[in-house]
Amino acid sequence: MTATSLQPSGSAPGRSDRFGHIRALDGIRGIAYLLVLGHHCFSVGLPPGSWPLGDQVLIRIFSFGYLGVDVFFVLSGFLITTLLLMDRRESHYYRNFYVKRAFRILPVFLAVLIIIRAASLCSTRYALLSLFFVANFAYLFHVIADGPFWSLSIEEQFYLFWPQAIRRLTARQIRIALWVVILAEPMIRFLMTTGHHAINYYTFTRCDGLAWGALLATETRLHQLLHGGLRANHWWRSRGLPVFAMGVVFTAAGVVLALSRWGDRWSATALLTSCPLLFVGSMGFILTHRPSLATNLLSSRGLRFFGDISYGSYLTHVYVLDVYNRFAGPLVAGETKPFLLRAVVVLAVTTAICAVSLHGFERPVMRLRRRFLAH
Protein backbone atom coordinates (compact mmCIF):
# COMPACT_ATOMS: atom_id res chain seq x y z
CA MET A 1 0.00 0.00 0.00
CA THR A 2 2.94 2.24 0.40
CA ALA A 3 5.76 1.81 -2.13
CA THR A 4 5.97 2.66 -5.80
CA SER A 5 9.70 2.47 -6.36
CA LEU A 6 10.70 -0.88 -7.80
CA GLN A 7 14.16 -1.12 -6.30
CA PRO A 8 15.57 -4.45 -5.08
CA SER A 9 15.94 -4.34 -1.31
CA GLY A 10 19.67 -4.94 -1.45
CA SER A 11 20.36 -2.04 -3.80
CA ALA A 12 22.88 0.48 -2.69
CA PRO A 13 21.43 3.63 -1.16
CA GLY A 14 21.04 6.38 -3.69
CA ARG A 15 21.42 4.11 -6.70
CA SER A 16 18.77 4.49 -9.38
CA ASP A 17 16.39 1.57 -9.25
CA ARG A 18 16.07 -0.88 -12.09
CA PHE A 19 12.92 0.51 -13.63
CA GLY A 20 12.60 3.96 -12.15
CA HIS A 21 9.98 5.44 -9.90
CA ILE A 22 6.50 4.99 -11.36
CA ARG A 23 4.91 8.34 -10.63
CA ALA A 24 1.55 7.42 -12.13
CA LEU A 25 1.11 4.75 -9.46
CA ASP A 26 1.49 7.44 -6.80
CA GLY A 27 -1.34 9.26 -8.55
CA ILE A 28 -3.50 6.13 -8.51
CA ARG A 29 -2.86 5.79 -4.81
CA GLY A 30 -3.86 9.41 -4.30
CA ILE A 31 -7.15 8.82 -6.10
CA ALA A 32 -7.79 5.69 -4.04
CA TYR A 33 -7.35 7.61 -0.80
CA LEU A 34 -9.61 10.47 -1.96
CA LEU A 35 -12.30 7.95 -2.89
CA VAL A 36 -12.19 6.41 0.58
CA LEU A 37 -12.23 9.82 2.26
CA GLY A 38 -15.16 10.91 0.09
CA HIS A 39 -16.98 7.70 0.99
CA HIS A 40 -16.73 8.40 4.71
CA CYS A 41 -17.51 12.11 4.42
CA PHE A 42 -20.30 12.01 1.85
CA SER A 43 -21.89 8.60 2.18
CA VAL A 44 -21.44 6.94 5.57
CA GLY A 45 -23.69 7.65 8.54
CA LEU A 46 -25.82 10.35 6.96
CA PRO A 47 -29.13 11.20 8.64
CA PRO A 48 -32.27 10.14 6.78
CA GLY A 49 -34.23 12.79 4.97
CA SER A 50 -34.36 14.78 1.76
CA TRP A 51 -31.10 16.12 0.32
CA PRO A 52 -30.72 18.67 -2.51
CA LEU A 53 -29.93 17.29 -5.95
CA GLY A 54 -26.24 18.28 -5.84
CA ASP A 55 -25.81 16.55 -2.49
CA GLN A 56 -27.61 13.48 -3.78
CA VAL A 57 -25.14 13.27 -6.67
CA LEU A 58 -22.19 13.39 -4.26
CA ILE A 59 -23.80 10.83 -1.98
CA ARG A 60 -24.44 8.48 -4.88
CA ILE A 61 -20.99 8.84 -6.42
CA PHE A 62 -19.12 8.34 -3.15
CA SER A 63 -21.31 5.45 -2.10
CA PHE A 64 -18.86 3.50 -4.30
CA GLY A 65 -15.82 5.15 -2.72
CA TYR A 66 -15.16 2.10 -0.53
CA LEU A 67 -13.73 0.47 -3.67
CA GLY A 68 -10.68 2.69 -3.23
CA VAL A 69 -9.50 0.08 -0.72
CA ASP A 70 -9.44 -2.47 -3.54
CA VAL A 71 -7.24 -0.12 -5.55
CA PHE A 72 -4.82 -0.23 -2.61
CA PHE A 73 -4.99 -4.02 -2.60
CA VAL A 74 -4.26 -4.33 -6.32
CA LEU A 75 -1.37 -1.87 -6.05
CA SER A 76 0.07 -3.66 -3.04
CA GLY A 77 -0.17 -7.09 -4.65
CA PHE A 78 1.53 -5.78 -7.75
CA LEU A 79 4.36 -3.86 -6.09
CA ILE A 80 5.14 -6.34 -3.32
CA THR A 81 5.17 -9.29 -5.71
CA THR A 82 7.45 -7.42 -8.10
CA LEU A 83 9.94 -6.68 -5.32
CA LEU A 84 9.79 -10.26 -4.05
CA LEU A 85 10.37 -11.69 -7.52
CA MET A 86 13.38 -9.43 -7.97
CA ASP A 87 14.95 -10.61 -4.72
CA ARG A 88 13.75 -14.21 -4.51
CA ARG A 89 17.26 -15.65 -5.04
CA GLU A 90 19.00 -13.26 -2.62
CA SER A 91 20.51 -14.74 0.53
CA HIS A 92 18.97 -12.00 2.72
CA TYR A 93 15.57 -12.20 1.05
CA TYR A 94 13.43 -12.49 4.18
CA ARG A 95 15.39 -10.11 6.36
CA ASN A 96 15.42 -7.27 3.85
CA PHE A 97 11.76 -7.65 2.98
CA TYR A 98 10.55 -7.57 6.57
CA VAL A 99 12.92 -4.77 7.58
CA LYS A 100 11.58 -2.61 4.75
CA ARG A 101 7.97 -3.41 5.58
CA ALA A 102 8.47 -2.85 9.30
CA PHE A 103 10.04 0.57 8.84
CA ARG A 104 7.35 1.63 6.40
CA ILE A 105 4.28 0.26 8.19
CA LEU A 106 4.90 0.15 11.93
CA PRO A 107 5.94 3.70 12.96
CA VAL A 108 2.80 5.45 11.70
CA PHE A 109 0.60 2.49 12.59
CA LEU A 110 1.77 2.40 16.21
CA ALA A 111 1.65 6.18 16.57
CA VAL A 112 -1.94 6.37 15.32
CA LEU A 113 -3.01 3.39 17.42
CA ILE A 114 -1.54 4.85 20.62
CA ILE A 115 -3.06 8.29 20.01
CA ILE A 116 -6.57 7.11 19.19
CA ARG A 117 -6.65 4.74 22.15
CA ALA A 118 -5.41 7.46 24.50
CA ALA A 119 -8.13 9.75 23.11
CA SER A 120 -10.77 7.01 23.53
CA LEU A 121 -11.50 7.00 19.81
CA CYS A 122 -11.43 3.20 19.73
CA SER A 123 -11.97 0.42 22.24
CA THR A 124 -9.15 -1.41 23.99
CA ARG A 125 -10.26 -4.70 22.45
CA TYR A 126 -10.21 -3.25 18.94
CA ALA A 127 -6.78 -1.73 19.58
CA LEU A 128 -5.45 -5.12 20.67
CA LEU A 129 -6.89 -6.87 17.62
CA SER A 130 -5.34 -4.18 15.44
CA LEU A 131 -2.00 -4.53 17.20
CA PHE A 132 -1.89 -8.21 16.27
CA PHE A 133 -3.21 -7.53 12.75
CA VAL A 134 -6.45 -9.46 13.11
CA ALA A 135 -8.78 -6.45 13.22
CA ASN A 136 -10.53 -7.72 10.09
CA PHE A 137 -11.93 -10.57 12.21
CA ALA A 138 -13.26 -8.20 14.89
CA TYR A 139 -16.85 -9.30 14.39
CA LEU A 140 -15.92 -12.91 15.13
CA PHE A 141 -14.64 -11.68 18.51
CA HIS A 142 -17.83 -9.60 19.01
CA VAL A 143 -15.79 -6.41 18.85
CA ILE A 144 -17.04 -3.29 17.10
CA ALA A 145 -14.66 -2.27 14.29
CA ASP A 146 -13.81 1.34 15.11
CA GLY A 147 -11.49 2.19 12.24
CA PRO A 148 -9.56 1.32 9.09
CA PHE A 149 -7.16 -1.24 10.57
CA TRP A 150 -9.08 -4.15 9.05
CA SER A 151 -7.51 -3.54 5.64
CA LEU A 152 -4.04 -3.17 7.12
CA SER A 153 -4.59 -6.52 8.83
CA ILE A 154 -5.32 -8.16 5.47
CA GLU A 155 -2.15 -6.61 4.05
CA GLU A 156 -0.02 -7.84 6.95
CA GLN A 157 -1.44 -11.34 6.67
CA PHE A 158 -0.50 -11.21 2.98
CA TYR A 159 3.05 -10.16 3.93
CA LEU A 160 3.26 -13.11 6.31
CA PHE A 161 2.72 -15.94 3.83
CA TRP A 162 3.29 -14.52 0.34
CA PRO A 163 7.10 -14.16 0.62
CA GLN A 164 7.21 -17.85 1.50
CA ALA A 165 5.26 -18.73 -1.64
CA ILE A 166 7.42 -16.57 -3.91
CA ARG A 167 10.60 -18.06 -2.47
CA ARG A 168 9.54 -21.70 -2.64
CA LEU A 169 7.21 -22.04 -5.65
CA THR A 170 8.02 -22.09 -9.33
CA ALA A 171 6.63 -19.36 -11.61
CA ARG A 172 3.99 -21.79 -12.88
CA GLN A 173 2.96 -22.79 -9.34
CA ILE A 174 2.71 -19.13 -8.33
CA ARG A 175 0.35 -18.41 -11.23
CA ILE A 176 -1.78 -21.46 -10.40
CA ALA A 177 -2.06 -20.37 -6.76
CA LEU A 178 -3.12 -16.88 -7.83
CA TRP A 179 -5.74 -18.18 -10.24
CA VAL A 180 -7.15 -20.43 -7.52
CA VAL A 181 -7.64 -17.37 -5.30
CA ILE A 182 -9.06 -15.25 -8.12
CA LEU A 183 -11.61 -17.91 -9.10
CA ALA A 184 -12.50 -19.00 -5.57
CA GLU A 185 -13.11 -15.58 -4.05
CA PRO A 186 -16.26 -14.68 -6.05
CA MET A 187 -17.78 -18.06 -5.22
CA ILE A 188 -17.03 -17.60 -1.52
CA ARG A 189 -18.58 -14.13 -1.57
CA PHE A 190 -21.64 -15.43 -3.40
CA LEU A 191 -22.17 -18.23 -0.89
CA MET A 192 -21.69 -15.95 2.10
CA THR A 193 -24.01 -13.30 0.68
CA THR A 194 -26.63 -15.97 0.00
CA GLY A 195 -26.34 -17.01 3.62
CA HIS A 196 -26.64 -13.36 4.75
CA HIS A 197 -23.09 -13.24 6.11
CA ALA A 198 -20.86 -10.17 6.00
CA ILE A 199 -18.21 -10.15 3.27
CA ASN A 200 -16.54 -6.78 3.68
CA TYR A 201 -13.67 -7.45 6.05
CA TYR A 202 -12.53 -11.06 6.00
CA THR A 203 -9.27 -12.04 4.35
CA PHE A 204 -10.92 -14.90 2.48
CA THR A 205 -13.47 -12.53 0.93
CA ARG A 206 -11.20 -9.58 0.06
CA CYS A 207 -7.84 -10.93 -1.11
CA ASP A 208 -8.51 -11.35 -4.83
CA GLY A 209 -7.45 -7.73 -5.38
CA LEU A 210 -4.06 -8.66 -3.96
CA ALA A 211 -4.04 -11.75 -6.19
CA TRP A 212 -4.86 -9.75 -9.32
CA GLY A 213 -2.05 -7.32 -8.57
CA ALA A 214 0.36 -10.20 -7.94
CA LEU A 215 -0.70 -11.84 -11.19
CA LEU A 216 0.05 -8.63 -13.08
CA ALA A 217 3.54 -8.68 -11.57
CA THR A 218 4.13 -12.24 -12.78
CA GLU A 219 2.58 -11.58 -16.18
CA THR A 220 4.84 -8.64 -16.92
CA ARG A 221 7.90 -10.79 -16.13
CA LEU A 222 9.58 -8.61 -13.57
CA HIS A 223 8.46 -5.56 -15.53
CA GLN A 224 10.63 -6.09 -18.53
CA LEU A 225 7.59 -4.70 -20.35
CA LEU A 226 8.11 -1.32 -18.75
CA HIS A 227 10.75 -0.60 -21.35
CA GLY A 228 8.01 -0.42 -23.97
CA GLY A 229 8.34 -1.42 -27.58
CA LEU A 230 6.65 -4.15 -29.59
CA ARG A 231 6.69 -6.64 -26.75
CA ALA A 232 4.79 -4.29 -24.43
CA ASN A 233 2.25 -3.48 -27.16
CA HIS A 234 1.70 -7.15 -27.89
CA TRP A 235 1.16 -7.91 -24.18
CA TRP A 236 -1.36 -5.10 -23.88
CA ARG A 237 -3.36 -6.16 -26.93
CA SER A 238 -3.38 -9.86 -26.07
CA ARG A 239 -3.84 -9.73 -22.29
CA GLY A 240 -4.11 -6.27 -20.79
CA LEU A 241 -6.85 -4.91 -23.03
CA PRO A 242 -9.21 -7.93 -22.66
CA VAL A 243 -8.90 -7.74 -18.87
CA PHE A 244 -9.54 -3.99 -18.90
CA ALA A 245 -12.55 -4.40 -21.21
CA MET A 246 -14.05 -7.09 -18.99
CA GLY A 247 -13.46 -4.85 -15.99
CA VAL A 248 -15.31 -1.95 -17.62
CA VAL A 249 -18.28 -4.12 -18.63
CA PHE A 250 -18.60 -6.01 -15.35
CA THR A 251 -18.07 -2.91 -13.20
CA ALA A 252 -20.75 -1.04 -15.15
CA ALA A 253 -23.07 -4.00 -14.60
CA GLY A 254 -22.23 -3.93 -10.88
CA VAL A 255 -23.04 -0.24 -10.66
CA VAL A 256 -26.38 -0.78 -12.42
CA LEU A 257 -27.09 -3.61 -9.98
CA ALA A 258 -26.20 -1.36 -7.05
CA LEU A 259 -28.70 1.21 -8.25
CA SER A 260 -31.44 -1.39 -8.68
CA ARG A 261 -33.76 -2.79 -6.05
CA TRP A 262 -31.51 -5.83 -5.61
CA GLY A 263 -28.49 -3.67 -4.96
CA ASP A 264 -28.32 -3.91 -1.19
CA ARG A 265 -27.79 -7.64 -1.29
CA TRP A 266 -25.73 -8.32 -4.39
CA SER A 267 -23.95 -5.15 -5.51
CA ALA A 268 -21.00 -5.44 -3.13
CA THR A 269 -20.41 -9.02 -4.22
CA ALA A 270 -20.50 -8.03 -7.89
CA LEU A 271 -18.35 -4.92 -7.52
CA LEU A 272 -15.73 -6.55 -5.33
CA THR A 273 -15.33 -9.12 -8.10
CA SER A 274 -15.38 -6.81 -11.11
CA CYS A 275 -13.48 -3.74 -9.92
CA PRO A 276 -10.12 -5.49 -9.42
CA LEU A 277 -10.35 -6.44 -13.11
CA LEU A 278 -10.85 -2.79 -13.99
CA PHE A 279 -8.05 -1.64 -11.69
CA VAL A 280 -5.49 -4.20 -12.83
CA GLY A 281 -6.38 -3.55 -16.47
CA SER A 282 -5.88 0.17 -15.92
CA MET A 283 -2.51 -0.48 -14.32
CA GLY A 284 -1.55 -2.70 -17.24
CA PHE A 285 -2.24 0.19 -19.60
CA ILE A 286 -0.20 2.61 -17.51
CA LEU A 287 2.75 0.24 -17.33
CA THR A 288 2.83 -0.37 -21.06
CA HIS A 289 1.96 3.15 -22.28
CA ARG A 290 4.48 5.53 -20.82
CA PRO A 291 4.21 8.36 -21.58
CA SER A 292 0.52 8.83 -22.38
CA LEU A 293 -2.23 11.28 -21.48
CA ALA A 294 -3.41 8.99 -18.67
CA THR A 295 0.04 8.62 -17.13
CA ASN A 296 0.68 12.35 -17.42
CA LEU A 297 -2.55 13.14 -15.59
CA LEU A 298 -1.89 10.55 -12.91
CA SER A 299 1.64 11.88 -12.50
CA SER A 300 0.40 15.38 -11.72
CA ARG A 301 1.91 16.96 -8.63
CA GLY A 302 -1.40 17.19 -6.76
CA LEU A 303 -2.31 13.52 -7.13
CA ARG A 304 1.22 12.42 -6.32
CA PHE A 305 1.12 14.55 -3.18
CA PHE A 306 -2.01 12.77 -1.98
CA GLY A 307 -0.39 9.49 -2.95
CA ASP A 308 2.65 10.32 -0.82
CA ILE A 309 0.53 10.98 2.27
CA SER A 310 -2.08 8.33 1.52
CA TYR A 311 -0.93 5.78 4.10
CA GLY A 312 -1.04 8.12 7.07
CA SER A 313 -4.15 9.85 5.72
CA TYR A 314 -5.98 6.57 5.29
CA LEU A 315 -5.28 5.61 8.91
CA THR A 316 -6.18 9.00 10.41
CA HIS A 317 -8.99 10.58 8.40
CA VAL A 318 -11.71 8.47 10.04
CA TYR A 319 -10.67 9.72 13.47
CA VAL A 320 -10.40 13.32 12.31
CA LEU A 321 -13.96 12.93 11.04
CA ASP A 322 -15.02 11.46 14.37
CA VAL A 323 -13.55 14.36 16.31
CA TYR A 324 -15.16 16.87 13.95
CA ASN A 325 -18.57 15.23 14.41
CA ARG A 326 -18.21 15.39 18.19
CA PHE A 327 -17.49 19.12 18.15
CA ALA A 328 -19.76 20.22 15.29
CA GLY A 329 -22.67 17.98 16.15
CA PRO A 330 -24.71 15.76 13.83
CA LEU A 331 -25.60 16.74 10.30
CA VAL A 332 -29.15 17.68 9.41
CA ALA A 333 -30.54 16.31 6.15
CA GLY A 334 -30.84 18.97 3.49
CA GLU A 335 -28.28 21.41 4.92
CA THR A 336 -25.69 21.61 2.15
CA LYS A 337 -23.21 24.02 3.75
CA PRO A 338 -22.39 21.90 6.84
CA PHE A 339 -22.36 18.80 4.61
CA LEU A 340 -19.64 20.25 2.35
CA LEU A 341 -17.82 22.11 5.12
CA ARG A 342 -17.29 18.90 7.06
CA ALA A 343 -15.55 17.25 4.10
CA VAL A 344 -13.35 20.29 3.46
CA VAL A 345 -12.27 20.56 7.10
CA VAL A 346 -11.57 16.84 7.43
CA LEU A 347 -9.53 16.84 4.22
CA ALA A 348 -7.57 19.94 5.23
CA VAL A 349 -6.81 18.82 8.79
CA THR A 350 -5.88 15.30 7.75
CA THR A 351 -3.66 16.61 4.96
CA ALA A 352 -1.86 19.02 7.30
CA ILE A 353 -1.26 16.36 9.93
CA CYS A 354 -0.02 13.78 7.46
CA ALA A 355 2.17 16.17 5.48
CA VAL A 356 3.98 17.10 8.70
CA SER A 357 4.17 13.43 9.65
CA LEU A 358 5.59 12.45 6.27
CA HIS A 359 8.45 14.95 6.33
CA GLY A 360 9.06 15.17 10.06
CA PHE A 361 8.54 11.57 11.12
CA GLU A 362 8.02 8.93 8.42
CA ARG A 363 10.87 9.78 6.05
CA PRO A 364 13.46 10.31 8.80
CA VAL A 365 12.50 6.93 10.26
CA MET A 366 12.65 5.33 6.81
CA ARG A 367 16.22 6.50 6.39
CA LEU A 368 17.22 4.51 9.46
CA ARG A 369 16.36 1.22 7.79
CA ARG A 370 19.60 1.31 5.82
CA ARG A 371 21.42 0.31 8.99
CA PHE A 372 19.42 -2.93 9.16
CA LEU A 373 19.38 -3.97 5.51
CA ALA A 374 21.81 -6.71 4.50
CA HIS A 375 23.84 -6.18 1.32
CA angle 132, 37, 285 (to 5 degrees): 95
CB under 8 Å, gap of 24 or more: what pairs does 182-186 form? 182/208, 182/211, 182/212, 182/215, 185/211, 185/273, 186/269, 186/273
Q: 104 lies in a domain?
A: yes
Q: Which domain holds residue 141?
A: 35-219+300-371
The torsion angles phi and psi of 112, rounded to 5 degrees, stand at: -65, -45
**Residue 357 located in a structural domain:** yes
Alpha-carbon distance of 248 to 255, in angstroms, equals 11
- Give me the phi and psi of 133, to 5 degrees please: 60, 45
Residue 55 in domain: yes
The total of structural domains in the chain comes to 1
Q: CA torsion sign, 247 to 284 to 13 to 353?
A: negative
Q: Please report whether residue 250 resides in a domain.
A: no
Query: What single-letter DSSP state applies at residue 21?
Result: B
Domain assignment of residue 235, yes or no: no
20 in a structural domain:
no
What Å distances lie between residue 351 and 34, 311, 314, CA to CA?
11, 11, 10
Query: Do the domain assignments include residue 84?
Result: yes
Residue 127: name the closest of 347, 325, 315, 362 by CA: 315
pLDDT value at residue 20 = 60
For residue 332, is it within any domain? yes
3-class DSSP state of 5: strand
Per-residue model confidence as pLDDT tens for the chain (375 residues):
554 555 444 443 333 345 567 899 999 999 999 999 999 999 998 988 889 999 999 999 999 999 999 999 999 999 999 999 989 989 999 999 999 999 999 999 999 999 999 999 999 999 999 999 999 999 999 999 878 999 999 999 999 999 999 999 999 999 999 999 999 999 999 999 888 888 989 999 999 999 999 999 998 764 566 566 677 888 888 889 999 999 999 999 999 888 887 666 678 889 999 999 999 999 999 988 878 899 999 999 999 999 999 999 999 999 999 999 999 988 999 899 999 999 999 999 999 999 999 999 999 999 999 999 987
